[in-house]
Each structure stands twice: as C-alpha cells, then as structure tokens.
Amino acid sequence: MKRRHKTLCLLAAAGALTAFPSASSGQDIIGEALGKVILPAVGPVILDRAGGQILEKGLNGGFGKGGRLPGRGGRTPTRPSRPQVIRSQPYSQSVPSGAYQVQPPSDVAPAPDAPAPVDPPENRIVTRPSVSPNPSPTDIALTHVVSAGPHLSGQVIRAEAAEIAGQIDQAVMRSLGQSAGDATLEALRRDYQNRLNKNDPEKARADLMLNHDAALAAAGSRQAWSSIFNAADAADRIAALPPESDQKTLTQAIEALRSELTGISGAVLSGEEIAVIAQRAKNIRNMVVLSEIARVLGAQRRDDLFTRIAEAAAKSDAPDEAITGLLGVGLGTSGSTVTDMQLPEGIPAVVLYSSELNTTPISFVCDDALEITLAPGEMVPLDQSFVVAFQNGKGVVKRYTINNGMYRWVVDQDGWDLRQKTAVDVTLDASESPAAFHYLLNGQPQVAAAGSVMQHRLDGPVRIDFDRGLGDGSSKSTLVTPGDYVVGVNPDTAGWDLHLRPQQGAAAESTTEIAKQHWRSSVLQAQRASLIDPAEAKVDALLDLIE
C-alpha cells in the first residue's frame, strides 16, 4: 500500500511539472529517477502519458542508463526515426539471433512531417491440399514385367503371327480363285481350303507343292509360290509356340519368317501387302525385345524402368496398348502432361485459355496494365474480375468485363474473340490403371476405379489435385481445360499424371500405320484371351462339336 501511494505521488508530481514546461537540470534528474524507479512498476506507455513531453529527455536518459522492459527482463527494441525499405540482396542473409540492442536516443527530434512507419505486408504460406495416397506405379510395374508381362507379350506375338498367316492365306485363296476353269489350279485351291478348314499346323502348306507341282508351274514362278507357302508355315509355327518359350526360341522363329518374306514376289501378294507383312514381322520381333528389356529391368528392380521402356517404345513405334500390357500401367503420350501449378488455396475466379486448335498466340491487356500472351494450349488463372482489351486482328479493339468463370479464345469470321464456357466437361480415363485413382475435383474427394472412366460437368474453372504415388506425399495441382484426360505414368517422374488425349486426326495410311493397326488389334485380342478361363474355353470348344 505504501509503494502504491508512493507511485501515485510521483505521478502527481510529474503531472504538476507538465504545467510549467521549462528545461532544467532538475528535470533531467527527475526524469532519470522516473526511468529507474517507476518504469519497472508501471511500464513505458503509462509513464509516457503521465510524464508529458517535458520529461522526454530525462526519461530517455534514465531508461537508457539501465531501465529494463518490465516483467520479462529483456530490453525493449527501438523504433527507427523513419521507415526503412528492405530490398533483396544479391547474396543470402540469415536472420541474426540474440537479444535486441538498445540504441542511444538521438538529441535531434524527428521532423514533424516525417512519414509514419510502414508495417510490412502480411506473408501467406500456400500449401497444397491434403489428398488421399495413390499406390506406387513403380511397384506395380516392377512386379508385372517379371510375372504377367512376358506371358502377355507372348500371347500378343502368337496372335499377331496367326494374323500374318491368315493374311497370306487370304491372298493365296484370292489368287487361286481368279483362275477358274483350270482343273489343276481348282484342285490346288480345294486342297488348300481343306487344309485351312482343319486348321492343322502339323500339315504344312509346303506339302501341297508335292501333289500340285504342275498347277504351280502353270500359275507362274514355282519359287514365288514356295516362298509364300513357307512364310505362312513359319508364321503358324510362331503362333503354335508354347507360352513358356524363351526369347531365343521366339527370336529364331521370327527371323525364319522374315527370311521367307524376302523371297516373295509375283502377283499373289502386291508390293504393298508384302511391305505390310514385313513390317508386322518386324513388330513382333520388337515386341520380343521390349519384353526382354522390361523383364531384365524388373528383375534388377531398376528405378529407371519407365524411362527406358518409353525410350524403347518410341524407337520401336509400338502402340500404346502393347506398352500398357507389357508394364501393367499406361504411359502417357509425350508432351501431353498437364502443367503442375503453384495455385493459391481454393479455385481462381477467372481462367482464360487458348485452345490447341488455335494456330497463333493471342495477346491481350488486363485492366490496361498487365499484358499477357497465350500460346495455343496455354492458360492463365486470375483471382479477381477485370477488364480485358485486345485487337481482333482486323483493326478493331474489343473490351470485355470478365467476371467469374472460364473463358476461351477463339478465331471466327470476325477475327479473335472471347467465349465463356458455361459448362465445362472433363473426362478422366482410368481404363489403363490397374488400381483406383484418388483425386480432388475442386476440393471434393473423387475415386476413379481401376478400368473406369469418370465424367464431370462443372460451371466454372476446374481444379484437380492428386497424389503422385511416389510414397513421399508429393502431390500435383493443376487447372484443366475441357477435354479428355488419361490417368497414366509420367516416365520422367515415375509417378501418376494426367495426360490430355490428343485430338484424333486422320491417320496416314502408311505401311507402318497399317501394320500398327494390326498390332493393336492383336494386343486387344491377347488381352481378351488372358481374361478367359482356359477350362471355360475348352468347354465352349467341346460344345461346338455337338451335332
């Protein structure tokens, strides 16, 4: 109680001194006393209000000679006389540690018009949203290429070889059918058809030449017919190889087929047909090599599996279906991966994008200040409404006020223009994924089951977040434009990714493209066969024999 009374008395004395503002040494003494005695009890703010301006010099002196911040024992930081601008330095600087140091007060009072101190802006930490984990595509593939991969590849090779033999047989029957009226050729055609009906690989086509030598001589070069029959027999032998055949056996059988194809000439097979069959034979050889590369990498547990297989697939021009069957997961098309964006939390108010169908970039200005140029296939997200101005390419300047939504740049008969997408359709194709794919669609959890296709329709910008499946918790955030996206593996990261499905254009009818179409159908045929229960297939075959 006595201490409180003493404090109040000193405050009253300080208040009385403010009524007679005159500088003296006594004021300094009183100020120093207040700084040493009263400050620890009442704090600097209350004291400043009580003492008034006349005690400022004395208080500062007394506090600077030993006063401490009440309650914590640390020293009070000083405020600079004018705000300081902090600029980035060309080298890295760490924040100094230790207590704040008290600087001696300045004898010169700041100018009355000194600018007020500027508080630093608030910094935000933008983190990616929490997403459900996805399985590791590397673990899936490394297991598949050693176990199921070689088996499926063997089925593809046998199916393709059988199709090659069938293509040759069709050409032979077509050629023999054009020789109506010739009894010897008609007998050869009948025996050839009977051999095909029985589907007996033990009875080689070349054996027909022993009984129809005269017919073949009349039909043209006997050597040309011999090469055709031998090639079809070689393809049949590949198709009849057991599933456990190793790489060496497959390679030798394929090289025998390719050797016979080089001797085919004449009018039975056209030059284009021979070129396609030769390309198909090269394809199944490449399939053997691809399968062996995958098996070796899988047995060694190599982390670069996807990179090496993608390289080999590009070199061999293998269809995507063949690589998916080999790896157990699909690899996305090179250059089609969606962009990873450091997006703020939530969904942007506006997204502008230029379609891949546009042939040139589009430049425009936002709010008469920010100039942006988008190449075909690019987009820009913005977090607020704005005014966009642009030239339409025909001498007209257009201005639009853009509010929430998704907007697409188009070129029509009047030049460049902007169109709002009132409904955004997005498809996620997980048909090549052997496991469920978890993702966030505008913050809402979604699951695409293995082998499924998910369709979404939204009325604004579409944000997708998903776990890469790398096991380290890394995720990807992206904004997508309307279109079809395939869930596949990015060979560069070995993680899951979304790949924009390219627009299907008219395929060039080249020899390679035709052969690839045959290869693709053989892959699908082998995949269907792998899903059939062998016992069920045998029962079906026996049922067909019942008369």
Query: pLDDT digits over 331-378, tens only?
Result: 987 778 999 988 877 888 888 999 888 889 999 999 888 899 999 988
| pLDDT tens, position by position, 107-127 | 545 556 666 777 777 777 778
CA-based nearest residue to 412, from 402, 398, 432: 398
* Average pLDDT, integer, range 234-255: 90
The yes-or-no verdict on residue 225 having pLDDT over 90 is: no
Tell me if residue 21 falls in helix, strand or coil. coil
Pair of tokens at residue 507 = 């395929």
* Average pLDDT, integer, range 266-289: 88
| Residue 198's pLDDT band (cuts 50, 70, 90) | confident
| pLDDT tens, position by position, 398-443 | 999 988 888 999 998 889 999 988 788 999 999 989 999 999 999 9
Cα angle for residues 171, 172, 176 (degrees, 5° grid): 120
Pair of tokens at residue 34 = 């207040």
Q: Contact at 8 Å (CB) between 193 and 220? A: no
The yes-or-no verdict on residue 147 having pLDDT over 70 is: yes
Q: Which of 13-22, 321-330, 389-398 has the lowest mean pLDDT?
A: 13-22
More confident site: 10 or 322: 322
Mean pLDDT, the chain, as a whole number?
76
pLDDT reported for residue 532: 61
Q: Contact at 8 Å (CB) between 430 and 454? A: yes
Q: Which residues lie closer than 8 Å to 121 by C-beta, 6 or more apart?
A: none
pLDDT reported for residue 109: 53
Q: Which residues lie closer than 8 Å to 522 by C-beta, 6 or more apart?
A: 156, 159, 160, 163
Q: How many Å apart are CA 373 and CA 46, to the nearest integer? A: 58
More confident site: 538 or 422: 422
| Residue 199's pLDDT band (cuts 50, 70, 90) | low
Q: Where are the alpha helices (DSSP H) in 52-200?
A: 56-64, 137-144, 148-177, 183-198
